Amino acid sequence: MSRKTILYVEDNEFNRKIVRQLLAQTSYRLREAPDGESGVRAAQDELPDLILMDVQLPKMSGLDATRQLRADPRTANVPIIVITSYALSGDEQKARDAGATAYIAKPYSPRDLLSKIREIVPEA
Amino acid sequence: MRLDRTDPLAAFLLRSPIGALVDWVARVRASVQRKLLVAFLLITLLFIGMGAFSVLTIREMARQSDLLDRAHQRLEWSQQIHQSLAMQMHLTAMALLVRDEAAIASILRENNRFNEALGRLEEAVEEPERIVIQKVRAAQEEAMAVVADIANLVRDSKIEAATRLHGSREDPLYRSIDALVSQMVQQENARMVRLRDGLHAALERSLVVMGSFAAISVLLALAGGFVISWMLIRPVHAAHGLLHELAAGRFGGSVTVPNRDELGELAVQLSATSRELAHLDAEQRRAAHELATLNAKLQQASVAKSEFLANMSHELRTPLNAILGFTEMLTDGLYGPVPAEFREPLLDIQTNGRHLLRLINDVLDLSKIEAGRMELSLGEYSAEEVVNTVRASLRSLAEEKGLEFKTEIDASLPEVMLGDAKRITQCLLNLAGNALKFTKRGRVTLRAAREADLVHYSVSDTGIGIPADQLEAVFTEFRQLDATITREFGGTGLGLSITKKFVEMHGGRIWVESRLNEGSTFHFTIPLKSEVASTV
């Protein structure tokens, strides 16, 4: 089986670096996008196996981007894990309403994030 | 002026000149007592006047009646004189027939009666009649002289001469006396009729006058009563109207009354009070408005503060995510084996990073609660699950400190209850975490028990305790008992405040019991089926 592609949409370089280094140890291929709009474009171009979507993003919020991807038949079924820094009640519901497959609160443990990714998209 | 409670007659009268009189009396500069006194005196004087007039009338009537009596008497005397004269004439004729001494004596007796009555009449009459009487007396005396001559002739048995004398002298004399006396009787009679008619007329006149007097007196008394009572009623109505306005909260009106007495002063005072009330009311309204504006500003500031905190917490969390993430990957050996001497500082970074994260979380929670944007996500939950989660989270900490950590769950609690499991767990984590933190030896016990339609959670410890005067303050933000505690035991100082708010949002109650150096017990209750307040 070919390697699974993961798209990470996040504006903070350090957080992207964490995921980059975390996945470097695995067989996952990582694509990165620094804002909501480029995230949507990258998803439509690459058709990844999983999308990690931050909520607070420049240009377009993670929730809007998720909605847009769900509306597009090509990306409608791609799993999306929404990452938010507002770890409050209601946030999870908002993420799920937007079409997220799963929800993870920031700050997350890289260990936990990796196990969540593996749970949804097992490595090749 | 308010006339709304005045009957139409009074309203009509008040518009008439009598109304002007009411105004005039009101304007008189005198006390109400004096005005009333004068009014009553006037009315009393009217009735005294009427009484006096009655007395005068009665006296006049009595006098007239007396006059009538006397006239009657005189008429009687005149008639007696007339009768005596007739008797004398008759007796003289008799004496001529019987030629008797006794008959002559009878004439003399009758003559005496005649003179007596004439004398009484003469005393009672006035000048013109007295002249007639004197004429009668003169004629009578002449007649008596003739009678005496006749008597002598009769005694001498010269009957013929006596009869002649009687025919030629006495008879004409008697006839002239008779004419005079008849005239007198007629005069007296006419006089009496005049008097009687006069008396009747006077009686009728005085009845009319008395009636008019009484009617006028009653009218004047009514008018006086009307004037004096309306002089009093009008300012009372006006004051009542103003008081009604004041009672309805419409301040600033005034009463104007013409009175220059106590009631006038009262009206002035009332108007001043009303103005003062209006002034106070306006001031109070202005203050309330200012307060409302200030309140709105404060509210805005509070919302702005909360939003700022929420944004800040997000901005803080992003780099914190990187710090904690890199540290974890380092300790997990993602970058290769970690030298032994690096392990402790790495752990310190992680511990402090997590503490910072707790602080940020608490600040975010509190700011959301204060901005009214915190919502519970209610669902069915089990007390057992919540307690077990707390025990699992804190077991390692208890073991580290060598403390016994017990949990007790009341079997009578329902299997599922309504509430926000995540927040209730957070509350118990705060309380049990604090208990473990502030206890150096002994045990911490977490209980969940049923109490009627409430679930009662409690966390007891054998720790340092809280002084009695600080028991309430522990639920206030940033209120650890003193700074040394923060240094020694850590914690954000927000946990209890947040716990209290979550409990209250569930419609519950939180309190603490404590003995210094013996331990504390924190309690909170939550309705089994909580009616949730959306904000606190």
Rounded to 5 degrees, φ, ψ at A9 are: -100, 110
CB atoms within 10 A of CB B199: 17
Locate B28 and state its tokens: 């008189």
Cβ distance of B377 and A90 shorter than 8 Å:
yes
Helix (H) or strand (E) holding A80, with range, is: strand A80-84
* Parallel, antiparallel or unpaired: strands B443-451 and B509-515: unpaired
Mean pLDDT of B373-398: 85
Task: For residue A124, tell me if it sits in a domain.
Answer: no
Residue A108 DSSP symbol:
P
Distance CA A82, CA B313 (A): 19
Does residue B285 or residue B376 have the better pLDDT? B285
Which chain B residue shows the shortest CA-CA distance from A109? Answer: B325
The radius of gyration of chain A's CA atoms, rounded to the nearest angstrom, is 13
Pair (B310, B434) in one structural domain: no
Question: CA-CA distance, A92 to A6, in Å (whole number)?
Answer: 21
How does pLDDT run across B288-318, given as a tens digit for each residue? 999 999 999 988 887 787 777 767 777 788 8
Residue B5's pLDDT is what?
60
Structural contact between residues B520 and B452, judged by C-beta atoms closer than 8 angstroms: no
Lowest mean pLDDT among B14-28, B89-103, B145-159: B89-103
pLDDT digits (tens, 9 = 90+) for B180-211: 888 888 888 888 898 889 889 888 988 898 88
Residue A122 forms contact with B (CB below 8 Å) = no
For residue B254, which phi and psi values (nearest 5 degrees)?
Answer: -140, 165
Please report, for the domain that includes residue B426, its CATH number.
Answer: 3.30.565.10
Domain count, chain A: 1
pLDDT of amino acid B183: 85
User: Inter-chain contact A85–B314, Cβ cutoff 8 Å?
Assistant: yes
Asked if A110 and B329 come within 8 Å (Cβ–Cβ), the reply is yes
Which residue of chain B is at minimal alpha-carbon distance from A19? B325
Identify the residue among A13, A54, A88, A92 best suited for mutation to test binding to B, counting B beta carbons within 10 A and taking the highest: A88
CA distance B267 to B256: 7
Contact residues for B91 (Cβ-Cβ < 8 A; gap 6+):
B103, B106, B107, B110
Whether A122 is in a domain gets the answer: no
Residues of B in contact with A110 (CB under 8 A): 325, 328-329, 332, 334
Q: Is the pLDDT of residue B535 over 60?
A: no
**How far apart (Å, rounded) are the C-alpha atoms in residues A62 and A59?**
10
Confidence of residue B4 (pLDDT cuts 50, 70, 90): low
- B244 is a domain residue: no
pLDDT digits (tens, 9 = 90+) for B56-89: 888 988 988 898 888 888 888 888 888 888 888 8
Q: Rounded distance, CA B213 to CA B53, Å?
A: 9
pLDDT in tens, A88-116: 556 677 788 888 888 888 888 898 899 99
For chain B, how many structural domains are there in total?
Answer: 3
Average pLDDT in chain B = 84
| Chain B: residue whose CA lies nearest to A56 | B314
CA distance A107 to A85: 7
Evaluate whether B508 touches B356 at the Cβ level (below 8 Å): no
Contact B321 A89 (CB under 8 A): no
**Residue pLDDT, tens place only, A43-73:** 999 899 999 998 888 888 888 999 999 999 9
Which residue, among B245, B253, B257, has the nearest Cα to B275 in the 3D structure?
B253
Quick check: is A27 in a domain? yes
For the stretch B222-280, pLDDT in tens is: 888 888 888 888 889 889 999 999 999 888 888 888 888 888 899 999 999 999 999 99
pTM given for the model: 0.48
Residue that terminates a domain, selected from B358, B374, B390: B374
Structure confidence at residue B372 as a pLDDT band (50, 70, 90): confident
B191 inside 8 A of chain A by CB: no
* Full domain range(s) for residue B326: 282-374
| A112 within some domain | yes
CA distances from B334 to B18, B184, B329 (A): 114, 174, 5
> Rounded to whole angstroms, how far apart are CA atoms B103 and B91?
7
Residue where a domain terminates, one of B339, B374, B409? B374
Supply the CATH number for residue A85's domain.
3.40.50.2300
Q: Could you tell me what percent of chain B has a pLDDT over 70?
A: 94
pLDDT of residue B354: 83
Is the CB of residue A14 less than 8 Å away from at least one CB of chain B? yes
Residue B136 predicted with pLDDT over 60: yes
pLDDT in the model for residue A5 = 92
Q: Which two tokens stand for residue B173?
A: 């004399």
Look at residue B221 in the predicted model and tell me its pLDDT. 85
| SS3 state at B79 | helix
Which of the listed ranges A65-74, B310-319, B370-379, B409-418 does the model predict with the highest average pLDDT? Answer: A65-74
> How much of chain B exceeds pLDDT 90, in percent?
13
Task: Please give the helix or strand (H or E) that residue B163 lies within, else none.
Answer: helix B159-165
**CA of B276, closest CA in chain A: separation in Å?**
56
**B52 and B103 within one domain:** yes
Q: Which domain holds residue A72?
A: 5-116
Is the domain of B399 the same as that of B506?
yes
Clarify whether residues B429 and B381 are in a common domain: yes
Question: pLDDT, tens digit, for every residue of B484-512?
Answer: 554 444 566 778 888 898 999 888 999 98
Q: In 3-state terms, what secondary structure has residue A90?
A: coil
- Of B321, B339, B374, the last residue of a domain is B374
Higher-confidence residue: B472 or B44? B44
